[in-house]
Amino acid sequence: MNTTSLPSVLEVTQLLQAWHAGDRAALEQLIPLVNAELHRLAGGYMRRQAPDHVLQATALVNEAWLKLIDWQAVTWQNRAHFFGVAAQLMRRILVDEARRQHAQKHGGNALRVSMSEVEMLAQRKSHDLLALDDALQALAEFDERRSRIVELRFFGGLSVEETAEVLGSSPRTVAREWRLAQAWLYRELSQQ
């Protein structure tokens, strides 16, 4: 394996820190690195797994994270903080993936599906995910905080408590704010 082409752990970690410190360009650099890792992982899996094993994008994203980041080197405030950062990245990757799948429209090179994953196949959801992303952007325009809550909870998979922790707020407030964000998004998406 050609290791020089892989992003170094340090590189990724530094970018993450830079991004965290407010350097938005760092995210733009991070995405291709993470994606490259994803593809590498995917290739490895495809060789090892039974031919009709389907890889789940998010599983890979998570795994990619774990492999890419030197946990020790990053001074995370706490676990929730890490996921706060990860949530944004996750959203980007998932939405990009959904957009790609949506464009392909279940093209000919779709992976074969084994029985256990039929229901889980993300493809079906690609459309919904794109719509959600759009709606989230619209929400962010007049209520960035709520958009962020949804991002943390939905894309980052954080609980109300964890979200509160990331935002430095109380769980009660987050729950209340989430309530309206959820209703607003629901209305937006169900009108489509």
Partner 1 sequence: MNNNRWREVERIFDETLEQPELDRAAFMAQACAGDDTLRHEVESLLAAHQQAGGFLVASAAKLSSVNYGTTAMSARQRIGPYQLLREIAQGGMGVVWLAERADDQYRQQVAIKLIKAGASNADIAHRLRHERQILADLNHPNIARLLDGGTTESGQPYLVMEYIEGVPIDAYCQQQQLTLRARLQLFRQVCAAVQYAHQHLIIHRDLKPANILVTADGAPKLLDFGIAKLLQPNLADSHHTQSGLHPMTPAYASPEQMRGESLTTASDVYSLGVVLYELLTGRSPYQLTTNTFGELSRAICEQDPIKPSIAVTQSHSSNEERLPSSLRTPHSAFRTLKGDLDSIVLMALRKEPRARYSSVEQFSEDIQRYLDGLPTLARKGTLAYRAVKYVRRYKVPVAAAALILLSLLGGIGATARQAQIARAEQAKAEVQRLRAEQALAVADQQRRRAEQALAEVKAERTRTEDALTTAEERRKQAEVARNEADQQRTEAESQKAFADEQRARAEQGEETKRQFLYAAQMKLAQQAWESSNIERMQELLDAQLPQPGQRDLRGFEWYYFWRLAHSDLVTIKHEGAVNSIVVTPDGAKMASQTSDGGIRIWDTATGKELPRIHDGETNATCLTISPDGQFFAQGKANGKIKIYSVSNGAPLATLEASQQVITAIAFAPDGKLLAASTFDGMVGVWAVPTWQRQALFKVSPNSINTIVFAPDSKQLITSGTAGTDTTQVWNPHNGQRLRSMSQIEKAAYKMAFIPGSNNLVTGDTDGPIRIWDFATGRLLTQMKTTWASGGLICSPDGRIIASGHFEQVVRLWDARTGALLTEVKGHSGPLMALAFTPDGKGLFTGSQDRTLKFRNVQKASEAREIANNGILSVVFSRDGHRLISTNYSQEVRLHDLTTGMALQRLKGHQQKPLAAGDTTMMMKVAVSLAGKYFATAGYDGTVRTWDEETGKPLQVFSGHTGGLYALAISPDGQHIASGGSDLTMKIWDTTSGRELHTLSGHRRRIRGAAFAPHEKILVTCSEDGTIKIWDYLKGVEIATTKPYTSGIYDLAFSPDGRWLALGGNDRYIILLDTTTWRTVKTLKGHAQIVYAIKFSPDGKRLASASRDSTTRLWELEQGQEVLSLRRQGDSPMMDLAFSPDGTSLAAVTMKGELFVWPVITQQEISAYSGAQNRPLRANQSDDAVRSLLAVQPLSTSSAALPDIPDQKIYGWVKGPNGDSLRDLMNLYAMRLDSSVSLSHKTSALIIGKKEETKGFCTIMQGVRADHFRGRRVRFSGYLKSLGISRPAGLWMGVDGEGYMLKYSNTFKPASIEWVKYEMVLDVPEDSLNIVFGFLLQGEGHLWGDDFRLEIVDADVPVTDISGIRERNQAEFLRLPEQERLRLERGYKERAKTLPLKPVNMDFV
Which residues 6+ apart lie within 8 Å of 45 measured at CB?
Answer: 53, 55
Quick check: 145 binds partner 1 (CB under 8 A)?
no
- Contacts with partner 1, 42-71, as mask; x by CB under 8 A: ------xx--x---xxxx-xxx-xx-----
Which of 16, 80, 94, 167 binds partner 1 (CB under 8 A)? It is 94
Quick check: 150 binds partner 1 (CB under 8 A)?
yes
Q: Any idea what DSSP says for residue 109?
A: T
Residues 120-139 that bind partner 1 (CB under 8 A): 120, 122, 125, 129, 132
Alpha helices in the chain (DSSP H): 9-20, 24-48, 57-68, 79-104, 123-142, 144-150, 160-167, 171-191
Which of 90, 164, 167, 174 binds partner 1 (CB under 8 A)? It is 90
Let me know the angle formed at the C-alpha of 31 by 90 and 133, rounded to the nearest 5 degrees: 40
Neighbours of 163 (CB within 10 A): 26
Stretch that binds partner 1, among 7-15, 23-31, 87-95, 101-109 (CB under 8 A): 87-95
- At 97, which amino acid appears? E
123: tokens are: 């493809």
> Under the rule (CB under 8 A), what is the footprint of partner 1?
48-49, 52, 56-59, 61-63, 65-66, 86, 90-91, 94, 112-116, 118-120, 122, 125, 129, 132, 142-143, 150, 153-158, 176, 179-180, 182-187, 190
